Structure 1
Amino acid sequence: MNRKLYKNVETLHATSLLVLILLSPRAHAIPTALDSLILQGKQQIYQMEFQAAEETFREARSEYPDYPHGYVYQAYITSLFFALDQANDSLARQLDTQVSAAMEVAKDYKSRFNDSAGSYFHLALANSIKALYHIIDRSYVKGYFSGRRAKSDLEKVVQLDSTYYDAYIGLGLFHYYADLLPGFIKFVAGILGFDGNRVKGKAEIHLTAARGKYFKIESEFLFYCIGYFLEGDKANAIRALKQMYRQYPTNQGLGLILAYHHRRSGYIQECMELCRRLLQEKDPGLPQVTDLKYYNLAVCHYDLNEFAKADSLLNVLSSLPTRKSLFYRAAIAYYKGHLADLRFEREAALSYYRQIPDHKQTQYWYGMSRALLKYPADSLLYQYFSGLNLLGSRQFGRSLQQARALKEALDAGKIAANPDMQFLAVSLLASNYYNQWQLARARSLYEEILPRLDKMEDRFRRAWIYIDYQRCLRELKEYKLAEAMLKKAEDADDDYTRIIIEREKFILKQLLAQEKQAKPAGRS
């Protein structure tokens, strides 16, 4: 199996881990006191009281050394921190030790209760942690086999006890994510036993949400996150996530998801207020949680065209004594370089852009920065980004005015440093008309540049123009043309854009199915 296939298939295992590990056994009765400790620890995790949860699971391990529960959940806590702090060698060693102990006890537990669904379930959890450890360590072959064993154990769980509802979330994750793998890799993954079925996977996740005992909260969270990020069902998802946040108000992870939603929806002040409030709360000890609060604030000021304030907050973020993930180091470098460019400080901009590596974890920022690295900012590019920010922060009148002025300047013969400027200007004006529901005018503008769009140098932004155009076509019920535009957008090579493309395809598929169902019988 080639290295790329291992990485794609094992992303499935890494995605599954953080929710799988919270499950508990049902089929084989466990001591009531142990069960109470596990449930207590889970509640502490929901409240992001990680130190208290670790102490609870340590007590479970000490009081019940022959049961794998305490070992597995204690390793889970470490794996959660390690996944967000991968440069921490001491955490890596600690996780390796803990997962080895969990595997040993889980195997022994299975040997004593071989016909128990719970024994196979704990092996699945331990193998999932082990897979995550190998993936982070870039040992993809080892990670693949650990993940495959986890899937096999989960299938054995429901074979032994089909009412073991807490197990279906794990299988649902495997089935759902495998369906999103790229074509050839999805085919090979199927041969290897990772069959994708998006509908089945989501139904399995919902089954745990509806009937699970130990994993109801996690499965509800996952179900609505899938709806939000992968299927475009934002209204229902946000309603449910807000309810969860009211239930667990100290869970800053939920708060940051809502802050992200506010920012991406253009409600910048709401995002800033929430992040400022989170900064006043107790630090949960997860470095990326702290980083995200400052990051969101910095990007909010950028979105409001308050570039000096954004730059200042990025400096604060950079100076925090937290280990930054590779993704966020690249994000900081992008915005620092971009802001320097908008100040026309070209050498400073280049020094930051060159810090962004061509790496799987940084594909998004690498793609965003390549055209900016090649061509310096000028007054026209400044006007474009400023107008784009006005649109994104719901200042529609000002954005439209700026977009019109930009296109008029280019049509009058003003020369831009960036040869893609005409495409960018037209797409900005078209996006403004789309947001004002002037769909015909938006379509006309997109069609103005469409014959030449494949010549646009910036692959990243070209893909997003195709995505935006297909949204316009979708609203006009031009579904087949919209599908063709998404096909063109697939030239993008970062995972985030690919996820968005898959989401847009899903929405189109749903609309096509509704249209077909609405047609009277006998009509084509």
Structure 2
Amino acid sequence: MLFILVDSKRFLFLLVVIFFFSLESYAGDLSPRSRLNEGIQFTYNFEFDKAELTFSSLLKKNPNDLFANHFSATLSLWKYFGSNKKKYLEEFLHQSDGTIAKAEQNLSGNPKNKETLYILGAAYGYRAIAFGKAEKYLEMIWASKKSNSYLEDVLEIDQNYYDAYLGIGLIKFALSQVPSGFKWALAMIGFDGDSEKGLSYLKIAAEKGNYSKVEAEYYLSQLYAEFYFDYDKSKRYLAKLNQGFPDNLLFNYSFAVLEVKRRNLSSARNILLSLLKEKTSEFEQLMALSKFLLADVYFYENNFEKAKDYYTRFLSETKEKNYSGIANYRLAICHEFLNDRAAKYYKTAQHGNEMLDDDYYAKKKSEIYLQRNISGVEKSLIFSTNLLKQEKYDAAIDSLTILLNDNHSQNYHSQIFLLLSEAYYYQNKFDSSLVFAQDAIGEKSSSESWVVPFAYYFASVSSLKTNDREKAAHYFDKADNFSNFFYENKLKSMLKNLARSINN
């Protein structure tokens, strides 16, 4: 068990992220069902005072109402994730202990009661989330195992208890992302991962679930964006959720994240500026992350003055290490473009969360710029990369072509070729994209080892677009053989998605 904890930190972080703000429910016919549903709807729309009053009124009538106990406890968990305040964690665990005790007592008299089994599965699932967030990983794995066991018991009794599919589906998908070298260890403790089955379970919950429908739709939106890069499907789910629950800050924030991925920066900016007008003391961390994302938007727009302002705000307000590394690094870059001193930000960029690709990249790049000044060519590469983020592909190509002819750019040709390949790919000029990807591969940059595997990816996907599956498979295999480079996790996800297209 300890071996897993020490050597699979990325997997553990994935579990925390994938369960972030989870909100499951039940499919039983517990009276008064309509009042419970009303409380859940208030929760979805971030009307927590109303939700708390609703659950409290149910508990006054029946203190042993398992579902009211369960959902009342989840309000504290939402607040813990939104603010990172320990008092909310303690409140949640205390309330969760009470729910579990009552459920176990009920189960002793009726061991096949599917509603009670479901509550136990859901309660332990939330505890896994809480323990993961608090970095108590042994407790997290134990709670995850208990949750999975109870939910599987539910489906053994009734395969049509559709809400139970959500929790099992999330666990199966998360475990499918574990490196193959650790799968045997997970199997020993009763875990198995299957991304396709996990996704199908989530679809069942989204299509047939009662109270789990909204949560399943939210997680599908996240998985399609993060692992399948299908931004259109993700947007359909998120647009529906935002329409139904316009005051849900998480759904709003997630939509802004998606718009950045879709390179629709103006839309993301408008969403975030509106979100940041909200006054809330219970979701300080989410608001801080919104400022970080808005800083990224301005950074990608090459508006370094405004980006600097919002990175500074994020760093002064965040309660976590997550993204502090990349925020400090990009803040340093902003200062470089504004001809200000940047060294202190490169130094603080060393202290982010290295489990995150962005923070790890920030640490390593900052180490370089603490040893020497950033070059003019490197600043031009950043500026051109940002043009791609803005979908200004012609402008990026012009800028990169000029840079390619600069006498000082010789050591950066591989990066220039890769960016040109990307620009032509998104213009649907796949032959040109392939040519520049091959040029990037031929340069074999020693200082930026990430360039070549990404170049092989663009060579593969461009070949596939021209219906040359044999060449696509060849370049795919080349890309898949690389390891230990910047943004390896991102590329591995891109390759998994590409493999499905090549093999169809």
Who is 1:330 aligned against? Answer: 325
Aligned-pair Cα RMSD in Å: 2.7
- Aligned in 2, Cα 1:462/1:75: closer, same or farther, shift over 3 Å? farther
> Which structure 2 residues correspond to residues 352-363 of structure 1 after superposition, within 5 A?
352-357=346-351, 359-363=353-357
1:479 is aligned to 2:481: no
1:424-460 per-position Cα deviation (integer Å, ceiling 9, x unaligned): 222222222223333222222222231452x533345
Who is 2:72 aligned against? Answer: 74
> Which structure 2 residues correspond to residues 248-263 of structure 1 after superposition, within 5 A?
248-263=245-260
2:416 pairs, out of 425, 428, 433, with: 425
Who is 1:98 aligned against? Answer: 95
> Which structure 2 residues correspond to residues 232-251 of structure 1 after superposition, within 5 A?
232-251=229-248
Q: Cα distance, 1:251 vs. partner?
A: 1.9
Q: Separation in 2 of the partners of 1:118 and 1:464?
A: 48
Who is 1:54 aligned against? Answer: 52
1:364 is aligned to 2:366: no
> Which structure 2 residues correspond to residues 2-151 of structure 1 after superposition, within 5 A?
2=3, 3-4=5-6, 7=9, 10=12, 14=16, 17=19, 21-26=23-28, 29-30=29-30, 32-33=31-32, 35-86=33-84, 88-151=85-148
Who is 1:522 aligned against? Answer: none
> Any stretches of 5+ residues in structure 2 without a counterpart?
none
Which letter does structure 1 place at the counterpart of 2:387?
L
Q: Is the 8 A contact 1:124 1:153 kept in 2?
A: yes
Who is 2:194 aligned against? Answer: 197
Q: Separation in 1 of the partners of 2:492 and 2:96?
A: 37
**Number of residues of Structure 1 aligned to a counterpart in Structure 2:** 496
Who is 2:446 aligned against? Answer: 456
- Aligned in 2, Cα 1:506/1:297: closer, same or farther, shift over 3 Å? closer
Which letter does structure 1 place at the counterpart of 2:413?
Q
Q: Is the 8 A contact 1:259 1:270 kept in 2?
A: yes
Q: Cα distance, 1:12 vs. partner?
A: 6.6
Q: Separation in 1 of the partners of 2:199 and 2:348?
A: 41
Instruction: Report the TM-score, using the length of structure 1 for normalisation.
Output: 0.86
- Aligned in 2, Cα 1:49/1:327: closer, same or farther, shift over 3 Å? same
Q: Cα distance, 1:485 vs. partner?
A: 3.9
> Any stretches of 5+ residues in structure 1 without a counterpart?
514-524
- Aligned in 2, Cα 1:206/1:265: closer, same or farther, shift over 3 Å? closer
Q: Separation in 1 of the partners of 2:10 and 2:418?
A: 33
1:287-335 per-position Cα deviation (integer Å, ceiling 9, x unaligned): 233223322322222112111121123234444xx44322133332122
Percent of matched pairs sharing the same residue: 18
SS of equivalent residue, structure 1 residue 327: coil
1:223-242 per-position Cα deviation (integer Å, ceiling 9, x unaligned): 23322221232223212321
1:509 is aligned to 2:500: yes
> Which structure 2 residues correspond to residues 171-320 of structure 1 after superposition, within 5 A?
171-281=168-278, 283=280, 285-319=282-316
Q: Is the 8 A contact 1:178 1:197 kept in 2?
A: yes
SS of equivalent residue, structure 2 residue 420: helix
- Tell which deviates more after alignment, 199-208 or 328-337: 328-337
Q: Separation in 1 of the partners of 2:336 and 2:452?
A: 21
Q: Cα distance, 1:201 vs. partner?
A: 1.6
Q: Cα distance, 1:150 vs. partner?
A: 0.9
Q: Cα distance, 1:49 vs. partner?
A: 1.6
Q: Cα distance, 1:120 vs. partner?
A: 0.9
1:93-116 per-position Cα deviation (integer Å, ceiling 9, x unaligned): 223322222222221222233221
- Aligned in 2, Cα 1:12/1:41: closer, same or farther, shift over 3 Å? farther
- Tell which deviates more after alignment, 217-226 or 462-471: 462-471
Q: Cα distance, 1:148 vs. partner?
A: 0.7
Which letter does structure 2 place at the counterpart of 1:42?
I
Instruction: Report the TM-score, using the length of structure 2 for normalisation.
Output: 0.89
1:219-271 per-position Cα deviation (integer Å, ceiling 9, x unaligned): 12222332222123222321232122112222232222222222232222222
Q: Separation in 2 of the partners of 1:283 and 1:500?
A: 37
Q: Cα distance, 1:415 vs. partner?
A: 5.9
Q: Is the 8 A contact 2:148 2:168 kept in 1?
A: yes
Q: Separation in 1 of the partners of 2:291 and 2:21?
A: 26
> Which structure 2 residues correspond to residues 439-450 of structure 1 after superposition, within 5 A?
439-450=430-441
Q: Is the 8 A contact 1:298 1:309 kept in 2?
A: yes
